[in-house]
Structure 1
Amino acid sequence: MDEVWEDLSNIPADPPEMRELCKDCKRPAVVCWCSGLPPERLKPQSTIILLQHPAEEKRCLRTAPMLQLGLADNKCLIYKGKKFPQPRHEALENILNQPNTVLLYPSKTAIDIRALESNNESYNIVLIDGTWPQAKAIYASSPILHKIKQVKLITSSTSSYIIRTQPTEGCLSTLETAAEALSQLENDPKYREQLVQPLHVLCQYQLDNGAVTHQSKEFLIKTKTYPKLIGKRLSKLLQSTNDCILKETMNKH
């Protein structure tokens, strides 16, 4: 018994020393991706507005902070919640009601973002940050979003977020979606090229330390290597994506 008390008395009262954190990305210095950030924070005409599901903030490999640090102050605004706007979301309702606000959401009425007037015009580009089911739930519970002009991305880009499983081959991370949207809207490839570099740094570190590349669920299903049964929701999403790709291909010809 005396030995037990002696052992307990030797436990330090202070908490163990934590790993040094980067002052910018708040990640442990050894896994910091800030070396991939643009040399100077980019200043687009338009502003990215992220409506972020609370669960997304808890992910250790999320990309929203990369976007926020890659863009100039007030060019990436993040609001958290499961429905929008709420009283705590300062100025958000005013932003969502502005005529130059657009919602990047793949609805049937969404138009190509490149069809927007881009001559000296700035837009508030609203993105829902979360998984596809979370994004659909946020959209359904936020009637104000239904009134906003909706736009979509038409791109052949594939995700560089290879350490995370995407639903379909055409899915992009929040960072990549915003970067592609800014590049198309402002007709400047630097947003696509520079904003995603921290993601490359992150993925390379993970791969160097035992992570493996992930194929999309769509790829795994097509190759009959997906380990689970396909639910109706995923099946419908895959079919919708394939129909969209087929339609765009036919329009090009």
Structure 2
Amino acid sequence: MSRYCPNCLKAGDACFCRWIQPLTSQIELIILQHPSEEKRPLGTARILSLSLHNARLFVGEDFSEHQPLLELINDPAYQTVVLYPTADSSSIAQREMGDDSLPLRVILIDGTWKKAYKMWNINHWLHELPQIHLPEALEGDYRIRKAPKANALSTVEAGYHLLSLLQPELDFKPLLTTFEQMIEYQIKRMPPEVYQRNYGDK
């Protein structure tokens, strides 16, 4: 038997499936996950893909010939945008993302900042899509992972804020509940002095 949960891919008691709550969203998420994130203990992308019935997760680095993904991107029945901060990206708060008459698909890149940047550069077709970014004032709560800046969000936090800003009538807080439970589990497994030394000043 595999020591990893077949759903969340976490090992042993780290499985967070017991905290997952099914959620409904009119906005579809497409998560492009770097292979190094797939079984990482602190990875959060699967919280989104397991909670949302219309979230899809693809693992890889170069998706230029990934036919299932390209079919979704080229589907004229949807408007597809990518959540990635660029000089040309629009703030979600402005809600100026093109044709509002079409249902929305949003691509998220799941990886460290360095690996996400590499995936952005490899997949040039992403540059042809409208780009959006979250408000800069948002701060992450990833207490047990080093971040380059305060507003560097985990993938599940980014997904939560994205969906909450665009669909304020819906409650996506269970995404953060699962995220917080996952963090608390990892903290409890650390010797107190290790947590304090590495993360106590957060």
* TM-score bin, normalised by smaller chain: 0.7 to 0.9
**Cα gap change, 1:184 to 1:120, in 2 (>3 Å):** farther
Q: Distance in 2 between matches of 1:179 and 1:84?
A: 25
Q: Any unmatched runs of 5+ in structure 2?
A: none
Residues 51 and 126 of structure 1 are in contact (CA less than 8 Å); yes or no, is this contact kept in structure 2? Answer: yes
Is 1:110–2:89 an aligned residue pair? yes
Question: Paired residue for 2:179?
Answer: 199
| 1:53-68 correspondence to structure 2 within 5 Å | 53-68=34-49
Deviation at 1:18, TM superposition (A): 7.0
Q: 1:108 to 1:57 in 2, by over 3 A?
A: same
Counterpart of 1:35 (choices 15, 18, 23) is: 18
Q: What is the rounded CA distance, in whole Å, between the counterparts of 1:94 and 1:18 in structure 2?
A: 33
Amino acid at match of 1:125: V
- Match in the other structure for 1:227: none
What residue identity is the alignment partner of 1:177?
A: A
Q: Secondary structure at the match of 1:43?
A: coil
Give 2:17's aligned amino acid. Answer: C
TM-aligned CA distance change 1:141 to 1:35, over 3 Å: same
Q: Is the 8 A contact 2:9 2:39 kept in 1?
A: no
Residue 48 of structure 1 deviates from its aligned partner by 0.6
Q: Quick one: percent identity of the two aligned structures?
A: 30
- The two structures, once aligned, show a CA RMSD in angstroms of 2.6
Structure 2 distance, partners of 1:122, 1:155, is 25
Query: Which has the bigger relative contact order, CA under 8 A and spacing at least 6?
Result: 2
Q: How far apart in 2 are the matches of 1:43 and 1:90?
A: 26
Q: Is contact 1:53–1:80 with CA below 8 Å preserved after alignment?
A: yes
CA distance in 1, matches of 2:115, 2:12: 31
Give the deviation of 1:189 after TM superposition: 5.6
Residue number in structure 2 paired with 1:182: 163
Contact persistence 2:27–2:104 (CA under 8 A): yes
Offset of residue 199 of structure 1: 1.3
- The answer to whether the 8 A contact 2:9-2:38 is kept is no
Q: Residues 128-167 of structure 1: CA distance to partner in whole angstroms, max 9, x if unpaired?
A: 1111111111111112111100001015332222111111
Give the TM-score taking structure 2 as reference length.
Answer: 0.83
Specify the code of the residue in structure 2 equivalent to 1:93. L
Scaled by the length of structure 1, the TM-score of the pair is 0.67
Provide the C-alpha distance between the structure 2 equivalents of 1:184 and 1:152, rounded to a whole number of angstroms: 12
The answer for unaligned runs of 5 or more in structure 1 is 1-16, 221-253
Counterpart contact for 1:96–1:148, Cα < 8 Å? no
The one of 124, 128, 131 aligned to 1:147 = 128
- CA pair 29-188 structure 1, distance change in 2 beyond 3 A: farther
1:118-137 aligned at under 5 Å gives the runs: 121-137=102-118
The answer to whether the Cα contact below 8 Å between 2:47 and 2:156 also exists between their aligned partners in 1 is yes
Contact 1:160 1:199 in 2 (8 A): no
Give the C-alpha shift of residue 23 in structure 1: 5.8
Q: Which of residues 141, 145, 156 in structure 2 aligns to 1:160?
A: 141
Structure whose CA Rg is larger: 1
